[in-house]
């Protein structure tokens, strides 16, 4: 017995001697600052510890042998490293590299200065590539969901059977917004009701939002704000991605993206085929999703002559046939009763050119230009409307970066020529805008930066009561960096919108019954708007948090309204005011998002003040995701849209929708499953979507989804590794 106790005691002494200590200091790989709160874990021993405020982490009682230690912190890429114990170093120096995401540096292009988003006084929201990758698996065929799930932006469906839709920012009609690609207006005018349904997210690397008056930056039409879609660019490592997707709503998507860069030449190529069969989940006999065939092909060529001269040339081409209406008509079984249909057949071709010459390390000269052609034929049993639109946009600007001040100055030319082919010559017009602009960002101190700008536009033909069609548009924005955690932005400016028949009301009526606008008798809509926000960005223990509170106000004088099928200036004004709240929380592999928008939009016409129809006062969104980077992603989301006034004076019901996403990633292969609106909320469950007869239906305002629950399953094939 004594011998046994002696052996046990000796074993305990040896074990005690064999216990080791791991001590390390963890730094940011970019800033070299200590990372307090970082965690170190030894999975095999099920033990770990958190770093103190100086970035020092200590793990005790480690036996001899080889052990893998995982170092992690929210906002950084994890580090796994094997150590042999006993270890010689008394303290080990380790670094974590920031990963792309909420706290990573984001460079924005919409203000032309290519600055970090945290240094720009203009309030810009950016959706980075990682979030776009998630959205592309949820709805690969278009960006309707991408926009509709953004705080302060609502998607308004303009046809019950064709699915055409526009987006509204902060309660204002779609005609007050601009949709750009790489800073160029490719989706204006006649194509507006189809644009967000014809853009796939696979070839986008970033989406930037400016909410509130942005006319000083990009000219007339950006009274409510703009959305700028930034395309992917080639990298040294070739990338080839295929995405295949199918839905229970008779949809199928196949798209591919290729990118590669050589010494002087590079290319990106995007192509897609999107199909949907006519789908009627309610059984009412009309298509909630129309029969759709769409082909897209967008190649780009990049050229770098030397370190000072570079540019690219792109071509965008698209064909779509969208056929909705009575399900029997769509199936080829029309008769005296079943006759109603809506067909949209469209072609889009455009070129994009961008060139940059670096004068020196501080300044550059930039040129960009696009020419676009869009043809569309809309037909229904009693109406046919067809037209062709030829547009162009050209801009040259000079950018200078100084120690205290950045300057942008330039000029642009916009032309718009529209021809009605059916009925012949009904809406024919030609319009030209010449703009000059200057913008300055001045860093007054470490705490305050001021951005000021002035644009002058000359329009022909000129509208009523505006001398020679000239508009002067000043704007002012201030950025306050109160400390590392707290920042605030406040700013505003003037805007205008030239009279145009292309808007939501015309889309709903199919254009054919609309009377032409007499420019000499119609005023341009003019606006003044401003917003202010406060932002907190920091760490709460091991969690990262970002809270942004925005307040906004926009006033529009002489808004265009439809009266007896003629657009006229209302005797009065409209205004929108409200607030947006965004909260993002990250903890280990979990991320949570909460968004709230309160919008109060009023029309003050002929001395009477009324609420603007189809504008929900309250919208809520919640999103929770669990993600192991490059391995697995799962998320749930919920959206609430409050009651809203309809055009017929009734009130549309508030509703809640839920969604689920699961994605498993391997090196060269992803599988994803997504379910939208899983509780099957749709307007047809509690309200009729039309009145009258099946032969001549009169459709009501659409304010909820019509397609109900939609489930999609797909794969993403990555034939080359992404080393960026």
Q: What is the mean pLDDT of the segment spanning 546-555? A: 97
Rounded Cα–Cα distance for residues 603 and 553 (Å): 14
Q: What is the mean pLDDT of the segment spanning 640-652? A: 94
Res 107: pLDDT: 82
Of residues 593 and 630, which shows the higher confidence score?
593
Rounded (10°) CA dihedral 129, 132, 133, 136: -150
Tokens of 703: 């304010």
Q: Which of 212, 217, 151 is nearest to 185 (CA)?
A: 217
Res 6: pLDDT: 45
> What pTM, to 2 d.p., does this model score?
0.86
Mean pLDDT of the chain: 90
Which range among 21-25, 28-32, 550-554 shows the weakest confidence by mean pLDDT? 28-32
Q: Are 225 and 169 in contact (CB under 8 A)?
A: yes
Q: Which of 319, 315, 375 is nearest to 351 (CA)?
A: 315
Summarize pLDDT for 608-620 with one digit per residue, the tens: 999 999 999 999 9
Res 259: pLDDT: 95
Res 8: pLDDT: 40
Rounded Cα–Cα distance for residues 599 and 576 (Å): 7
Q: How does strand 590-605 pair with strand 384-401? A: unpaired
Rounded Cα–Cα distance for residues 60 and 48 (Å): 9
Q: What is the mean pLDDT of the segment spanning 410-415? A: 96
Res 237: pLDDT: 85
Summarize pLDDT for 335-375 with one digit per residue, the tens: 999 999 999 999 999 999 999 999 998 899 999 999 999 99
Res 101: pLDDT: 44
Rg (CA), the chain: 28
How many other β-carbons are positioned within 10 Å of the β-carbon of residue 216? 27
Res 723: pLDDT: 41
Summarize pLDDT for 29-85 with one digit per residue, the tens: 766 777 877 888 898 888 888 777 678 889 988 998 888 898 887 667 778 888 888
Res 612: pLDDT: 95
Q: What is the mean pLDDT of the segment spanning 378-392? A: 94
Res 543: pLDDT: 87
**Rounded percentage of the chain residues whose pLDDT exceeds 90:** 69
Of residues 207 and 113, which shows the higher confidence score?
207
Q: What is the mean pLDDT of the segment spanning 398-402? A: 92
Res 181: pLDDT: 95
Domain positions in the chain: 2-96, 230-246+254-281+291-718
If pLDDT is split at 50, 70 and 90, which confidence band does 14 have? very low
Q: In this structure, what DSSP letter does residue 453 have?
A: E
Summarize pLDDT for 208-253 with one digit per residue, the tens: 999 988 888 888 889 999 999 999 999 888 999 999 999 999 999 9
Res 222: pLDDT: 92
If pLDDT is split at 50, 70 and 90, which confidence band does 695 have? very high
Query: What residues are paired with 620 via a beta bridge?
Result: 596, 640
Summarize pLDDT for 469-482 with one digit per residue, the tens: 999 999 999 999 99
Res 235: pLDDT: 84
Q: Are 597 and 580 in contact (CB under 8 A)?
A: yes
Cis bond upstream, residue 423 (ω within 30): yes
Res 193: pLDDT: 81
Q: Would the pLDDT of 424 be above 60?
A: yes
Rounded Cα–Cα distance for residues 336 and 118 (Å): 63
Q: Are 302 and 232 in contact (CB under 8 A)?
A: no
CATH code of domain 2-96: 2.60.40.10
Which own/partner contact pairs does 190-193 have at CB distance under 8 Å and 24+ positions apart? 190/374, 190/376, 190/387, 190/389, 190/418, 190/502, 191/346, 191/348, 191/374, 191/376, 191/389, 192/166, 192/502, 192/503, 192/507, 193/158, 193/159, 193/164, 193/165, 193/166, 193/504, 193/507
Q: Are 219 and 435 in contact (CB under 8 A)?
A: yes
Res 574: pLDDT: 97
Res 74: pLDDT: 60
Rounded Cα–Cα distance for residues 645 and 641 (Å): 12
Q: Which of 438, 399, 393 is nearest to 415 (CA)?
A: 393
Rounded Cα–Cα distance for residues 166 and 179 (Å): 10
Res 572: pLDDT: 96
Q: Which residues, in sequence order, are CB contacts of 570 under 8 Å at separation 6+?
A: 558, 559, 560, 561, 603, 605, 606
Rounded Cα–Cα distance for residues 451 and 453 (Å): 7
Classify residue 412 as exposed, middle or buried by CB count within 10 Å of its CB (0-12, 13-18, 19+). buried
CATH code of domain 230-246+254-281+291-718: 2.40.170.20
Q: What is the mean pLDDT of the segment spanning 247-261? A: 96
Of residues 135 and 639, which shows the higher confidence score?
639
Res 105: pLDDT: 65
Summarize pLDDT for 177-214 with one digit per residue, the tens: 999 999 999 888 888 888 898 999 999 999 999 998 88
Q: Which residues, in sequence order, are CB contacts of 129 under 8 Å at separation 6+?
A: 100, 205, 206
Tokens of 207: 């989406």
């Amino acid at each position: 017995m004594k011998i046994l106790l002696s052996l046990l005691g000796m074993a305990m002494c040896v074990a005690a001697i064999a216990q080791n200590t791991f001590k390390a200091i963890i730094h940011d790989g970019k800033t070299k600052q200590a990372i307090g709160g970082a965690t170190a874990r030894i999975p095999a021993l099920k033990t770990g510890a958190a770093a103190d405020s100086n970035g020092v982490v200590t793990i005790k009682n480690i036996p001899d042998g080889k052990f893998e230690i995982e170092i992690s912190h929210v906002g950084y890429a994890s580090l796994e490293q094997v150590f042999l114990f006993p270890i010689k170093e008394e303290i080990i120096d380790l670094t974590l590299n920031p990963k792309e995401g909420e706290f990573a540096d984001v460079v924005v292009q919409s203000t032309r200065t290519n600055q970090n988003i945290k240094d720009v006084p203009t309030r810009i929201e950016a959706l980075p590539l990682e979030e776009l990758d998630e959205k592309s698996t949820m709805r690969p065929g278009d960006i309707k969901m991408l926009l509709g799930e953004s705080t302060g932006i609502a998607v308004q469906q303009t046809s019950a059977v064709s699915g055409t839709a526009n987006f509204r920012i902060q309660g204002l009609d779609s005609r007050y917004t601009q949709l750009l690609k790489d800073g160029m207006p490719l989706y204006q005018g006649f194509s507006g009701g189809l644009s967000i349904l014809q853009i796939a997210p696979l070839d986008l690397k970033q989406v930037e939002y400016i909410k509130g008056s942005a006319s000083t930056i990009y000219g007339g039409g950006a009274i409510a704000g703009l959305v700028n879609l930034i395309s992917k660019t080639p990298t040294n490592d070739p990338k080839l991605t295929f995405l295949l997707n199918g839905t229970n709503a008779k949809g199928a998507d196949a798209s591919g993206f290729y990118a590669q860069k050589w010494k002087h030449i590079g290319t990106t190529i995007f192509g897609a085929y999107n199909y949907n069969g006519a789908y009627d989940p309610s059984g009412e006999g009309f298509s909630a999703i129309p029969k759709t065939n769409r082909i897209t092909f967008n190649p780009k060529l990049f050229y770098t002559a030397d370190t000072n001269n570079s540019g690219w040339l792109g071509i965008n081409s698209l064909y779509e046939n969208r056929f909705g209406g009575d399900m029997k008509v769509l199936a080829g079984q029309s008769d005296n009763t079943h006759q109603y249909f809506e067909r949209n057949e469209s072609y889009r071709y455009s070129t994009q050119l961008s060139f940059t010459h670096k004068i020196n390390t501080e300044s550059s000269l930039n040129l960009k230009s696009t020419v676009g052609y869009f043809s569309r034929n809309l037909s229904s049993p009693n109406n046919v409307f067809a037209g062709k639109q030829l547009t162009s946009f050209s801009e040259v600007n000079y950018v200078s970066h100084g120690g205290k001040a950045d300057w942008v100055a330039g000029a642009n030319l916009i032309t718009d020529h529209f021809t009605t082919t059916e009925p012949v010559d009904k809406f024919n017009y030609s319009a030209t805008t010449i703009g000059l602009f200057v913008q300055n960002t001045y860093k007054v101190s470490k705490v305050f930066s001021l951005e000021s700008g002035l644009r002058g536009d000359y329009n022909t033909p000129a509208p009523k009561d505006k001398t020679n069609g000239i508009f002067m548009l000043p704007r002012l924005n201030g950025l306050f960096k109160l400390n590392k955690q707290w920042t605030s932005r406040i700013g505003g400016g003037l805007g205008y919108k030239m009279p145009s028949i292309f808007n939501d009301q015309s889309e709903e009526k199919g254009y054919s019954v609309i009377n032409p606008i007499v420019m000499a008798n119609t005023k341009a809509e003019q606006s003044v708007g401003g917003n202010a926000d406060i932002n907190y960005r920091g760490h709460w223990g091991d969690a990262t948090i970002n809270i942004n509170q925005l307040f906004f106000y926009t006033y529009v004088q002489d808004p265009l309204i439809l009266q007896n099928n003629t657009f006229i200036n209302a005797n009065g004004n409209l205004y929108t005011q409200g607030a947006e709240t965004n909260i993002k929380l990250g903890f280990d592999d979990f991320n949570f998002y909460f968004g709230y928008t309160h919008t109060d939009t009023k029309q003050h016409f002929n001395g009477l003040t009324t609420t603007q129809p189809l504008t929900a006062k309250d919208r809520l969104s919640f999103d929770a995701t669990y993600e192991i980077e490059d391995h697995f992603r799962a998320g749930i989301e919920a959206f609430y849209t409050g009651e809203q006034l309809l055009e017929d004076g009734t009130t549309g019901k508030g509703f809640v929708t839920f969604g689920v996403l699961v994605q498993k990633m391997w090196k060269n292969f992803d599988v994803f499953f997504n379910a939208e609106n899983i509780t099957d909320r749709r307007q047809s469950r509690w309200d009729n979507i039309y009145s009258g007869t099946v032969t001549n239906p009169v459709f009501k305002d659409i304010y909820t989804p019509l397609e109900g629950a939609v489930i999609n399953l797909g794969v993403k094939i990555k034939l080359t590794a992404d080393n960026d």
